[in-house]
Amino acid sequence: MSSDLFSPSVLHALDVAGIFVFAISGALLAVRKNFDVFGIIVLAEVTALGGGLFRDLVIGAVPPAAFTDAGYYLTPLVAAGLVFFLHPHVERINKAVTVFDAAGLGLFCVTGTTKAHEYGLALAPAVALGVATAAGGGVLRDLLAQEVPSLLRWDREIYAVPATVGSAVVALLIRFDALTGATSAGAAIAAFVLRLLALRYNWRAPRAWNRRSGATEEPA
């Protein structure tokens, strides 16, 4: 196990930062959907912790950190409270959701890949689990909000690709013994910026070759 990749305090700080920004995105979506305070808290907690719970169960880190560290489940409560009282004007909420979601995507693909490798996974499956960590909470958030997950919609800008890029960069850094606080931040920023560029320029993943279906994209 490569326990020298990060000190426990640094990995914990990165995890909490990712939890906070994902919780903000979940809570903001709940506000946009006109959920009550309980719905805001649920969406914040699920978005923030869903991917990490899946990761911990797969790698055998049980009980999951979300149930053993007060900071993990209290942070989404703080985020939900901030959004409940201080959320931006309605016309700005949707934009805020995407920005915070992109930030969480970048942070979690780094922590997910790193923790998976520290628990003995090879680099390729560690990358896959990094992507699952980054995207899992967002998928659960969208399902609870009765939306088709962005991860599965061709008519939405690329979502899993930025997480895959960030996780792959982390894997390469581990492979060449170059993973530090600065380089991991660079990997998270790369995923974050790629996601924002996809949103800005409407980048989408290709569909099936020579697709002849008459189905069209769903209205937003």
pLDDT tens, the chain, 220 aa long: 344 456 677 778 888 888 998 999 899 899 989 999 999 999 999 999 999 999 999 999 999 988 999 999 899 999 999 999 887 664 577 788 788 889 989 999 999 999 999 999 999 999 999 999 999 999 999 999 999 887 887 777 788 899 999 999 999 999 999 998 899 999 999 999 999 999 899 998 887 787 765 555 554 4
Q: Is residue 211 part of a domain?
A: no
Owning domain of residue 122: 8-201
Number of domains in the chain: 1
DSSP string, 56-74: HHHHT--S-HHHH-HHHHH
Residue 187: per-residue pLDDT: 95
Q: Is residue 18 part of a domain?
A: yes
Residue 212: per-residue pLDDT: 67
Residue 77: per-residue pLDDT: 96
- Go through 153-181 and write b for each residue having 16 or more CB atoms within 10 A of its CB, e for each that does not: beebbbbbbbbbbbbbbbbebbeeeebee
Q: Is residue 218 part of a domain?
A: no
Q: Is residue 147 part of a domain?
A: yes
Q: Is residue 214 part of a domain?
A: no
